[in-house]
Amino acid sequence: MAQINDVGGAIDAAVRLEEARLIEVRRDIHAHPELAFQETRTAGVVAGELARLGVPFRSGVGRTGVVGTIEGGRPGPTIVIRGDMDALPIGERTGLAFASRNAGLMHACGHDVHTATLLGVAAILKSLQPELSGRVRLLFQPAEEVLGGAAAMIEDGALDGVDLALGYHNHPEIPVGKFGFVRGANYAACDRFRLVVHGVSGHAAYPHAAVDPIVAAASLVGSLQTLVSRETGPLEACVVTVGAIHAGTVHNIIPDSCELLGTIRSLTLTVRLRAEAALRRICAGLEATYRTPCECDWIPGVPPTLNAEEVLDGSVAAIRRQLGEVFVPAESSMGAEDFALIAARVPSFVLRIGSGAPGRTDYLHNSDYQPDEGCIALGASALARAAVDLLAA
Ligand code: NI
């Protein structure tokens, strides 16, 4: 136990030493947000910090990603810790001194915080290098918001030889200083669809001489909700949202076609497959009812992000050893994460890091989102301790 106490103290000391620098780096990244696969400046900042810390790294992994490696002084497995770096196409309204200088772009999901947190993990684990078992691979991932960066990094070999992985996200509904975890599905599968209902255009006053795709599409929107209410068990989770409908030009013309764009979210493979089959069946049936053939493009996204029990249990126990009882109840989210692709390949755990500032209610993807920066040092301590203990187990 003496050794574990030493590790805890060393982590505390390393974090105290780095915290001001991590906040400075976070603010610099926040002021210069970059969209998916354009994170070249951010990757440059990461590379500079890793060089300062003496952590070997490789740039250009998954196009704009960076991979740092810390080789422990003792034999053991290889763990990946992944943080994402991209921003969103949202105009910032925080009025902060370090607000975005790139018009129309903002770190509204806190990936600036994630990048700084992973640099904190790098600093801590570098200081523990001789006592560390195995090796730590730090993935600074691009393009999470378009669900493309994880796949790109995996394609470039980022998971080769990896035994387990940790992911994390800041959660403003959890107060800073607290953490959350979910058994099973942490985030949902996210798939998209594009439907085109084909009719025959004509004069609005003579609908019988045309085939109206808008009436058929309106009925289709309602029918799609039966995927949730009639085809998914009441205790299972599924979301169907039609987010865009495009048809027509003016009030007195029935158009030729109507396009619908939407997303389906689910927490299990069974529900995911059933939803796809039902969507295709309902679309295929539209012609018999309304004389409107319906094209159905199912665009696969990511699977559910599944936590592996043993990695979750080991991480939660390690974080409690480091920070005490810091966990609050949490439940599965219908949001999606491309960390799911990592979790589908190696046993993984996603830690929810409380980032809610006292008195604030703004949420992720909001133009006024302001995470509490205290979450950076705390998140880095938690992740570092989890990695140390998992590698030594
Ligand atoms: Ni995010």
State residue 6's pLDDT score: 86
Rounded to the nearest angstrom, the distance between the alpha carbon of 84 and the centre of ligand 1 is 8
DSSP H or E run through 260: strand 257-266
Rounded to the nearest angstrom, the distance between the alpha carbon of 190 and the centre of ligand 1 is 14
Strand pairing partners for 61? 65
Rounded to the nearest angstrom, the distance between the alpha carbon of 31 and the centre of ligand 1 is 17
Rounded to the nearest angstrom, the distance between the alpha carbon of 231 and the centre of ligand 1 is 30
24 neighbors 120 (Cβ within 8 angstroms): no
Task: Tell me, rounded to whole angstroms, the distance of Cα 99 from its chain centroid.
Answer: 23
Rounded to the nearest angstrom, the distance between the alpha carbon of 87 and the centre of ligand 1 is 9
Q: Give the CA angle between residues 227, 228, 230 to the nearest 5°.
A: 70
Q: Which DSSP letter does residue 380 get? A: H
- d(CA 38, CA 354) in angstroms, rounded, equals 28
- d(CA 233, CA 230) in angstroms, rounded, equals 8
Q: What is the 3-state secondary structure (H, E, C) of 268-319?
A: CHHHHHHHHHHHHHHHHHHHHHHCCCEEEEEEEEECCEECCHHHHHHHHHHH
SS3 255: coil
Residue intervals in the chain for CATH 3.30.70.360: 189-302
Rounded to the nearest angstrom, the distance between the alpha carbon of 146 and the centre of ligand 1 is 10
Rounded to the nearest angstrom, the distance between the alpha carbon of 229 and the centre of ligand 1 is 29
SS3 213: helix
Helix, strand, coil fractions of the chain, as percent rounded to 5: 40, 30, 35
State residue 16's pLDDT score: 96
Rounded to the nearest angstrom, the distance between the alpha carbon of 147 and the centre of ligand 1 is 10
DSSP secondary structure of 21-59: HHHHHHHHHHHS---TT-THHHHHHHHHHHHHHT--EEE
- d(CA 121, CA 264) in angstroms, rounded, equals 35
Rounded to the nearest angstrom, the distance between the alpha carbon of 178 and the centre of ligand 1 is 18
* Look-up of token digits 């910032």: 92
Beta strands 133-141 and 253-254 are unpaired
CATH class of 189-302: alpha beta
Topology of the domain covering 7-187+304-392: Aminopeptidase (3.40.630)
Rounded to the nearest angstrom, the distance between the alpha carbon of 45 and the centre of ligand 1 is 20
**How many CB atoms lie under 10 A from the CB of residue 341?**
18
Rounded to the nearest angstrom, the distance between the alpha carbon of 21 and the centre of ligand 1 is 23
SS3 321: helix
Rounded to the nearest angstrom, the distance between the alpha carbon of 79 and the centre of ligand 1 is 21
Rounded to the nearest angstrom, the distance between the alpha carbon of 109 and the centre of ligand 1 is 5
Token code pair at residue 375: 């979450």
pLDDT tens for the chain, 393 residues: list them.
335 458 999 999 999 999 999 999 999 999 999 999 999 999 999 999 999 999 999 999 999 999 999 999 999 999 999 999 999 999 999 999 999 999 999 999 999 999 999 999 999 999 999 999 999 999 999 999 999 999 999 999 999 999 999 999 999 999 999 999 999 999 999 999 999 999 999 999 999 999 999 999 999 999 999 999 999 999 999 999 999 999 999 999 999 999 999 999 999 999 999 999 999 999 999 999 999 999 999 999 999 999 999 999 999 999 999 999 999 999 999 999 999 999 999 999 999 999 999 999 999 999 999 999 999 999 999 999 999 999 998
Residue intervals in the chain for CATH 3.40.630.10: 7-187+304-392
Rounded to the nearest angstrom, the distance between the alpha carbon of 245 and the centre of ligand 1 is 26
Rounded to the nearest angstrom, the distance between the alpha carbon of 257 and the centre of ligand 1 is 35
Rounded to the nearest angstrom, the distance between the alpha carbon of 349 and the centre of ligand 1 is 16
The radius of gyration computed from the CA coordinates of the chain, to the nearest angstrom, equals 24
Rounded to the nearest angstrom, the distance between the alpha carbon of 336 and the centre of ligand 1 is 9
* Look-up of token digits 């493979």: 269
Rounded to the nearest angstrom, the distance between the alpha carbon of 291 and the centre of ligand 1 is 43
Rounded to the nearest angstrom, the distance between the alpha carbon of 78 and the centre of ligand 1 is 25
- Distances in Å between the Cα of 123 and the Cα atoms of 21, 36, 113, 116, 331 are 11, 26, 15, 11, 31
Q: Which DSSP letter does residue 327 get? A: B
State residue 239's pLDDT score: 98
Rounded to the nearest angstrom, the distance between the alpha carbon of 203 and the centre of ligand 1 is 47
State residue 1's pLDDT score: 38
Rounded to the nearest angstrom, the distance between the alpha carbon of 145 and the centre of ligand 1 is 7
pTM above 0.85, yes or no: yes
DSSP H or E run through 165: strand 164-175
Rounded to the nearest angstrom, the distance between the alpha carbon of 240 and the centre of ligand 1 is 21
Rounded to the nearest angstrom, the distance between the alpha carbon of 107 and the centre of ligand 1 is 9
- Distances in Å between the Cα of 351 and the Cα atoms of 119, 195, 197, 380 are 17, 36, 42, 11
Token code pair at residue 249: 């030009």
SS3 200: strand
Rounded to the nearest angstrom, the distance between the alpha carbon of 113 and the centre of ligand 1 is 10
- Distances in Å between the Cα of 312 and the Cα atoms of 31, 45, 166, 380 are 34, 31, 9, 17
Rounded to the nearest angstrom, the distance between the alpha carbon of 168 and the centre of ligand 1 is 9
Rounded to the nearest angstrom, the distance between the alpha carbon of 365 and the centre of ligand 1 is 8
